[in-house]
Amino acid sequence: MLADYLQGLQLFLDPAVLLLIAAAVPVGLLLGVLPGMSGLTALALLLPFVFGMDPMAGLAFLLAAHAVVYTGGALTTILLGIPGAPPNAATLADGYAMSRTGQTGRALGAAFASSGLGGCVGVVALAGLLPFLQPIVLTIGSPETFFLALMGIVYIAVLGQGNLTKGLIAGGLGIFLAMIGEQRITAVPRFWLGFDYLLDGIKIVPLVLGLFAIPEILDLARGRTLAHQANAERPRWAEIRQGMVDVLRHKLLFLRSSVIGVVVGIIPGIGGDTAPFLAYASAKQTSARPERFGSGIVEGVIAPESSNNAKEGGALVTTLGLGIPGSAGMSVLIGGFLILGLEPGPDFLAEHMDIAVGLAIVLAVANLLAVIVMLLLSQFLVRIVEVPGTILAPVLLSLVVLGAYGYQNDPMDVVFVFVFAVLGCVMRALDYSRPALLLGFVLAPLLETYLHISLRAYGLDFLFRPGALFIAALIVAGLLWPLIRQRRNGGAQR
């Protein structure tokens, strides 16, 4: 066992591997900073480069680029109010609000620190869980996946920015949008209007770009300058450091959010995009001051950003141990394994534990390296906000169009960015929660699919599986928590 760890370290310390990590991290960060480019894009773009590489080097290269995308994405989200990648949308509410109230440095510091440390929690989970992989994965079946999705749906109301009805309407709209296209189980096409593009359903990248990016760009084009609100000063180190200290101050929140990320990452069905929303909602639900979420508080940045990076460690657990991808990005990574002549799965762990350990180290180092790079760069990058909006807007618009097109080389995706932009503008003007819509959109297919599978496979007994009961208890506890706290506080005052 110890020998494996030492060999893993040795593999990692190969100069070629180190060099490739150093090359991959900036690429991943850049793709994160650019709206519309996600971790998936990073892997797909880099995959052709690994042909002929040494296995460890090739995998380190792919993994390092993929792992740091959301760290880069936080920058765009906080500075411009445009999610760098879909999961960053959860950071938007508080991160952007902080930036507009002159706390840019603090928000960035908190985002980078929680991203980097969250990534490390993911690595610790990965290293710790690999030996116990089988029992864990065997406990989490379709019923448990269904209940986790249910937990997410329950949180939609929490994301509703104070207005319960509006939150539910937005979530409902998201659920409706998710229903468009071929139903995953029966392949019956719904609401497709005889239009090929819709047969495949609404895709998340055009949806996020349209909902979040275009409304901000329109504001900029109308002459608003970001620096105007963000009290033009460049964030000083002290401010950034304060943000980083904030993460340590909110230790419990940070840990809980990271664990949510790891758990969501491990479950193959859920898909990582859900993690930051769950973490954000659970932070708000259990907070002593839930009403302040969305107004620009640092907890609203720490929760989603730590879970964002932690989930990659979780996803790698199932990917390495069973050969079953925990997220869309991981399935591309498995493609990379095969190209390099390796096949992840139980055999892989038995034969190549050293590579698994090496990859865990790569994940940790890439995460920390990304934080350092972003901290150094943020001093310069924040000057973006001083650029007049009328100049920034067309540049960003081009990037958004490029990102939407580059997603799947489909021009219709670009058209739909603008369709959703209309929706985004209306929702923003009328104060409906766009994250709630996104959460409904991401979770609806999971609920539908896993309820179907659970009922078919177990009948109504699925409700009484221990894992399912446990998660159901968590949901009830989450809902009752504010009441309990209120009563306790009331008691204390008396």
297: contact with other proteins by CB under 8 A: no
439: contact with other proteins by CB under 8 A: no
Interface mask toward other proteins for 176-195; x: CB under 8 A: ------x-xxxxxx--x---
Looking at the Cβ atoms of 199 and 381, the one nearer to other proteins is 199
Residues 302, 257 contacting (CB under 8 angstroms)? yes
- Give the position of tokens 């009563």: 487
Q: Burial letters for 16-41: b for 16+ Cβ neighbours within 10 Å, e otherwise?
A: ebeebbeebbbbbbebbbbbbbbbbb
Looking at the Cβ atoms of 116 and 406, the one nearer to other proteins is 406
Looking at the Cβ atoms of 247 and 417, the one nearer to other proteins is 417
Looking at the Cβ atoms of 306 and 327, the one nearer to other proteins is 327
Looking at the Cβ atoms of 133 and 475, the one nearer to other proteins is 133
Looking at the Cβ atoms of 206 and 296, the one nearer to other proteins is 206
3-state secondary structure 243-308: HHHHHHHCHHHHHHHHHHHHHHHHCCCCCHHHHHHHHHHHHHHHCCCHHHCCCCCCHHHHHHHHHH
22: contact with other proteins by CB under 8 A: no
Q: Which stretch binds other proteins (CB under 8 A): 21-29, 306-314, 357-365, 451-459?
A: 451-459
Find the binder of other proteins among 164, 338, 391, 473 (CB under 8 A). 338
Give least dist CB 183 to other proteins, A: 9
Residue ranges in 264-283 that form contacts with other proteins under rule CB under 8 A: 268-269
137: contact with other proteins by CB under 8 A: yes
**Phi, psi (5° rounding) for residue 189?**
-75, 135
Identity of residue 247: V
CA 349 from centre of chain: 27
**In whole angstroms, how far apart are CA 439 and each of 149, 178, 279, 293, 304?**
10, 10, 12, 17, 13
Find the binder of other proteins among 129, 153, 339, 439 (CB under 8 A). 339
For the chain, the C-alpha Rg in angstroms (whole number) is 22
Interface mask toward other proteins for 29-48; x: CB under 8 A: --------------xx--xx
Looking at the Cβ atoms of 51 and 191, the one nearer to other proteins is 51
**DSSP state letters, 65-122:** HHHTHHHHHHHHHHHHS--SSGGGHHHHHHHHHHHHTT-HHHHHHHHHHHHHHHHHHH
Find the binder of other proteins among 457, 476, 477, 484 (CB under 8 A). 457
Query: Which residues would be at the binding site for other proteins (CB under 8 A)?
Result: 43-44, 47-48, 51, 137-138, 141-142, 182, 184-189, 192, 196, 199-200, 268-269, 322-325, 328, 331-336, 338-341, 343, 345-347, 408-410, 449-450, 452-453, 456-458
